[in-house]
Amino acid sequence: MPEKTHYDDNILFLRSLIRTLHDAIRLNVDIEYFANKILEDILFINSSIEKIYDSLKKNSLLIRRNVYYHSIMKLKEAYVHFLNELHSTNGRFRKTFEHTRANFSLILENNLKDLQDIKDFIGGTEAGKVEGDAISRSELHYLMSPIENPSDSLDETGKYTISDVKL
């Protein structure tokens, strides 16, 4: 584990990877050339998000903890949205990744559970609202810009649901 975790940069990096993969699956590429790399990246992103999230949960004295919770929530929303998009690409990638269906289902379920936990945490802390810029304006804009509509997994009560997950 690093001496100091750079949450802002780590989250920004992962968000960039998700955005790049999201753009890539929209291209009409020959899947057999890129399927293994996309799968590796999906698993890498998942494990990296989990490491960062676990570190954040363990570090209760972190000054900007609520800001990082909000950023990790947006990152997980983008990741879940990407995975849903991956499985709704007219079957092109769905067929290719059929052998990982159970693993993807577990990844989606865990991320949706984490999203609900994060939302509950943010809603339950009085210090959840941060005044002033916590990160640069350009980073904030980039982190908060939606890929499409990653909040599609919210039900009418504002809770995350797994029923919207398309596999």
State which residues form the domain around 61: 7-153
- Give, for all 167 residues of the chain, the pLDDT tens digit: 556 889 999 999 999 999 999 998 888 888 889 989 999 999 999 999 999 999 999 998 888 999 999 999 999 999 999 988 887 765 677 778 888 888 888 999 999 999 999 999 888 864 445 444 456 777 777 777 777 655 555 666 766 666 555 54
The pLDDT value given to residue 153 = 58
Confirm whether 2 is domain-assigned. no
The pLDDT value given to residue 112 = 94
Confirm whether 163 is domain-assigned. no
Q: What are phi and psi of 85, to 5 degrees?
A: -65, -40
Sole residue written with tokens 């209760």: 60
Angle made by CA atoms 10, 14, 15, in degrees to the nearest 5: 115
CB < 8 Å & 24+ apart, contacts of 161-164: 161/112, 162/108, 162/109, 162/112, 164/84
Confirm whether 24 is domain-assigned. yes
Confirm whether 67 is domain-assigned. yes
Confirm whether 132 is domain-assigned. yes
Q: Secondary structure of 32-73 in the HEC alphabet?
A: HHHHHHHHHHHHHHHHHHHHHHHHHHHCCCCCCHHHHHHHHH
User: Which alpha helices (DSSP H) does the chain contain, by range?
Assistant: 7-25, 31-58, 65-86, 92-96, 101-124, 137-144
Confirm whether 159 is domain-assigned. no
Confirm whether 144 is domain-assigned. yes
Confirm whether 164 is domain-assigned. no
Q: Is the pTM of this model over 0.75?
A: no
Give the number of domains in the chain: 1
